[in-house]
Amino acid sequence: MFIHNLELTNEQIEQQAEFKAFVDSEIVPVAGQIDQEEMMPDSVLQKVIDQGNWGAALPAKYGGANMDYITYGLWNEEIGRGCASLRNIIGVQGMVTSSIMRWGSQDQKQQWLPRMSSGELKVAFAITESQVGSDIKNLQTKAKRVGAEYIINGQKKWITFAQKADVFLVFAQCEGQAVALLVDRNTPGLTVRPITGLMGFKGSLLAELIFEECKVPVDHLIGKVGFGLALVANHGLTHGRYSTAWGAVGLAQGCLNASLKYVNERKQFDHRLKEHQLIQQMIANMVTETIAARQLCFRAGQLWDKNEVNATFATSLAKYFSTVHAFKAAKDAVQIHGANGCSSEYPVERHMRDAKVMEIVEGSTQIQQMLIAQDAFNLYQN
């Protein structure tokens, strides 16, 4: 597994082994079908719920698995190794629930979190719009308060798991200030349009949301008016970046595992592929950079567990490096597999498409570079 040098506790090592066994037995065998059919079976989601890990990072008092950040990262790595689409869905559950946990009222936590951690309510994080991706300050979706309700009008696009989610955490502008509102799927005036034909994350069940005079109770507001982007959205996105970073490590590990198996079995010119120096070079880079990416993720998890102020910076570093490496590892894995690497019969073809998407979601590679540089400039000035 090439995970040496991580300072894991005995409990974390045991949980990691459980995660790996679960993914190998329940997720890996169906990952290709999930991708090809652009679906996510309820049976797969139910297996995660039955494991008790749907609300992985939530406290036990809300029905969660009460994982520390390192354990949560290991969980995301293993799921990411098996199926990037499922990891994406699980990551989104954490984005919403962690936002409520951080900024919701006590009544909201009691009302929503136990039902979300149990899988009774599945959720989606609705911030992206067709004309607004990373530039979230310019959201076009509007919310207007009228009495005891907010009325929402606008559209969201590329929303992960929106095809099945019961509740959406929706971000909108309200008279020049951002708000975050929980919107029930059955709210009159809300239309969900599935999106298919994606390059990667094909089993993530993306959809477009159309709001036409949707009325949402005032007590569905998370935080306060004006908190929507700077606090609620950024908290959720940072959580998503952490999940994605670990998931990218898992995907890279999957590429490495597949490549090691292939070069050990495949022969060219009367020699196994592993005997060719250029193949060895690609494998060496894959090993080194996967270990480095895992270490960055581990460091970010340590800082989150210690509630350190620079945990957000460490998360951007981990997300940037891990996703860039995952795509490079996937490209090399396809190259190593040759024509077979272009076939859906081998997982590396799916890994390469999924890895490209990981460089975009939860803040693109370029956004992470900007954030990292800005922190570096501030550090230099201080």
Active-site residues, by number, are: 362
Q: How far apart are CA 146 and CA 115, in angstroms?
A: 28
pLDDT, one tens digit for every residue, the chain (382 residues): 444 557 899 999 999 999 999 999 999 999 999 999 999 999 999 999 999 999 998 999 999 999 999 999 999 999 999 999 999 999 999 999 999 999 999 999 999 999 999 999 999 999 999 887 666 678 999 999 999 999 999 999 999 999 999 999 999 999 899 999 999 999 999 999 999 999 999 999 999 999 999 999 999 999 999 999 999 999 999 999 999 999 999 999 999 999 999 999 887 776 888 888 899 999 999 999 999 999 999 999 999 999 998 999 999 999 999 999 999 999 999 999 999 999 999 999 999 999 999 999 998 999 999 999 998 888 777 6
Kindly write down the DSSP assignment for every residue of 192-212, as one continuous string: EEE----SS-TTS--EEEEEE
d(Cα 55, Cα 59) in Å, to the nearest integer? 9
Hey, which CATH number is domain 230-381, 3.40.50.1820, 3.30.160.60, 2.40.50.140, 1.20.140.10? 1.20.140.10
The per-residue pLDDT for 7 is 86
Domain map of the chain by residue range? 10-117, 123-228, 230-381
| 262-267 LR contacts (CB < 8 Å, sep 24+) | 262/336, 262/337, 262/340, 262/346, 263/336
Rg (CA), the chain: 21
Q: How far apart are CA 101 and CA 332, in angstroms?
A: 40
- CATH of region 10-117, choose from 3.30.530.20, 1.20.1250.20, 1.10.540.10, 3.40.630.30: 1.10.540.10
Rounded CA separation 45/232 (Å): 26
Please tell me the distance from the alpha carbon of residue 75 to that of residue 243, in angstroms, as a whole number.
9
**Same fold: 10-117 with 230-381:** no
Nearest to 362 by CA among 306, 322, 302, 308: 322
Tell me the residue length of the chain.
382
Q: CATH class for domain 123-228? A: mainly beta
State the pLDDT at residue 135: 64
Write down the pLDDT at residue 5: 56
pLDDT score at 272:
86
Q: Where are the alpha helices (DSSP H) in the chain?
A: 10-22, 28-37, 42-51, 69-82, 84-103, 106-117, 234-265, 277-305, 311-337, 347-358, 365-381
pLDDT at position 265: 84
Q: Give the count of alpha carbons within 13 A of 148, CB side only.
A: 2
